[in-house]
Amino acid sequence: MSQPAAKRNPILRAFGTLVRLLLLAALLSVALWLDAQRQLDTPLAIEAPLHFEIAPGSSLPRVINDARAHGLFASTRQAYYLAAQARIDGLASAIKAGEYALEPGLKPRDLLALWVSGKTVLHELQLIEGWRFADALKRVRAAPTLSHSLPADLDAAGVMAALGRPDQAPEGRLFPDTYRYTRGMSDVAFLRNALAAQDRVLAEEWAQRAPNLPYDAPEQALVMASIIEKETGIGAERPQIAGVFVRRLQLGMRLQTDPTVIYGIGEAYDGNIRSRDLITDTPYNTYTRDGLPPTPICLPGRAAIHAALHPAEGDALYFVARGDGGHQFSATLAEHNLAVKRYQLGGGVPK
């Protein structure tokens, strides 16, 4: 009895074995591919919003291991498949460092896309109009998401030197705004951004200034803006306040503004201005000195800078606080004295 041809021919036997192995490999490959797709489409083990940080220079294996250590993956296979997918797609070296916000329901393939996108978490730090440089520096030094390189005992002049402005007075040079930045930005870089923002705003406003103003340079307008910033928090009043001070400068009158006196008192200021303070001479006492003080007295915002460069027209030379946040403006000293009597001394002068 004769044997089947396949058994008689070793080549046919080997071919059959190879076909079976190839079919088995194909089946295994399909099963593996299907399992990978299921795992890559299965949400990660994120139960609540969290932040995940990728350190600069991190390799793909390190990032995956860090993610595993943080318990991000629902299974070990998810981690392996994600690493494989990154290499297949040529994205292993495209992952960007930074801090990422991860939400429940995020899938591994979405996580990879997020890491490649570089859409990192942005933190906010606000510098407030009317703050002094020291207030802003304190806020920056207290920000936990900034990288701190400035020595804690470095004074304002030293900080300006570190920022590359050794010959510039610090007061008023930071633009008050809400700044957004990524975790790890240096305090120096943050402050340089605020310096550059104030430079830009001042240059823009100076280029569009009204004619015939009593300023020789943009820096003088910045000084005036800082005084306006401290005199009123009511936006509509800023041009009126500016008008009073500009007319005073043009007429050779002293500004006689309390905020500059307070600034000159410095740390000794206890919340009250006394008669002796008005006659005690300092570089910032505008009751004893002519013209503008030598530097700004706070961080002025764009609105105050704009007002300093676009003062309201009129004849008012005086103003007094009404007690409601606003001011009463007067053209003559006699009118002003009546307003003072009414609003500050309780004289009950009729409207």
Tell me 267's DSSP state: G
Judgement on whether residues 103 and 181 belong to the same structural domain of the protein: no
38's CB contacts (< 8 A; 6+ apart) are none
pTM value?
Answer: 0.83
Q: How far apart are CA 226 and CA 305, in angstroms?
A: 8
Residue 17 — pLDDT band, cuts 50, 70, 90?
A: confident
Residue 31 confidence (pLDDT): 64
Judgement on whether residues 214 and 339 belong to the same structural domain of the protein: yes
pLDDT digits (tens, 9 = 90+) for 40-64: 999 999 999 999 999 999 999 999 9
| Range 334-346 burial, b when 16+ CB lie within 10 A, else e | eebbbbbebbeee
pLDDT digits (tens, 9 = 90+) for 327-349: 999 999 999 999 999 988 764 43
Does the pLDDT at position 139 exceed 80? yes
More confidently predicted of 61 and 3: 61
Q: How far apart are CA 114 and CA 108, in angstroms?
A: 10
Judgement on whether residues 17 and 58 belong to the same structural domain of the protein: no
Judgement on whether residues 229 and 310 belong to the same structural domain of the protein: yes
Q: Considering the domain boundaries, does residue 139 fall inside one? A: yes
Judgement on whether residues 299 and 327 belong to the same structural domain of the protein: yes
Does the pLDDT at position 350 exceed 50? no
Residue 3 confidence (pLDDT): 56
Q: Are 199 and 222 in contact (CB under 8 A)?
A: no
Residue written as token pair 């071919």:
15
Residue 348 confidence (pLDDT): 41
Domain limits for position 113: 50-117
Residue 346 confidence (pLDDT): 63
Residue 34 confidence (pLDDT): 80
CATH, residue 94: 3.30.1490
**Domain end residue (candidates: 98, 117, 136):** 117
Judgement on whether residues 235 and 315 belong to the same structural domain of the protein: yes
Q: Considering the domain boundaries, does residue 351 fall inside one? A: no
Q: Considering the domain boundaries, does residue 45 fall inside one? A: no
Q: How far apart are CA 162 and CA 119, in angstroms?
A: 30
pLDDT digits (tens, 9 = 90+) for 162-220: 999 999 999 999 999 999 999 999 999 999 999 999 999 999 999 999 999 999 999 99
SS3 content of the chain, % helix, strand, coil (to 5): 50, 10, 40
Q: Considering the domain boundaries, does residue 71 fall inside one? A: yes
- What's the CA angle centered on 306, arms 290 and 138, to 5 degrees? 80
Judgement on whether residues 155 and 245 belong to the same structural domain of the protein: no
Percent of the chain with pLDDT over 90: 83
Sign of CA dihedral 158, 164, 169, 170: negative
Judgement on whether residues 230 and 292 belong to the same structural domain of the protein: yes
Residue 25 confidence (pLDDT): 67
Residue 4 — pLDDT band, cuts 50, 70, 90?
A: low
Q: Considering the domain boundaries, does residue 339 fall inside one? A: yes
Q: Considering the domain boundaries, does residue 349 fall inside one? A: no
Amino acid at 162: A
Tell me 271's DSSP state: S
79's CB contacts (< 8 A; 6+ apart) are 64, 67, 68, 73
Residue 33 confidence (pLDDT): 77
Judgement on whether residues 241 and 299 belong to the same structural domain of the protein: yes
Q: How many domains does the chain have?
A: 4
Judgement on whether residues 193 and 302 belong to the same structural domain of the protein: no
**Domain end residue (candidates: 87, 117, 147):** 117
Residue written as token pair 């500050």:
344
Judgement on whether residues 89 and 15 belong to the same structural domain of the protein: no
Judgement on whether residues 151 and 252 belong to the same structural domain of the protein: no
Residue written as token pair 């994120």:
46
**Domain end residue (candidates: 203, 226, 254):** 203
Residue 226 confidence (pLDDT): 98
Look up residue 334 and give its two tokens: 């006699």
CB atoms < 10 A from the CB of 208, how many?
A: 9
Q: Considering the domain boundaries, does residue 179 fall inside one? A: yes
Q: Considering the domain boundaries, does residue 195 fall inside one? A: yes
Does the pLDDT at position 108 exceed 50? yes
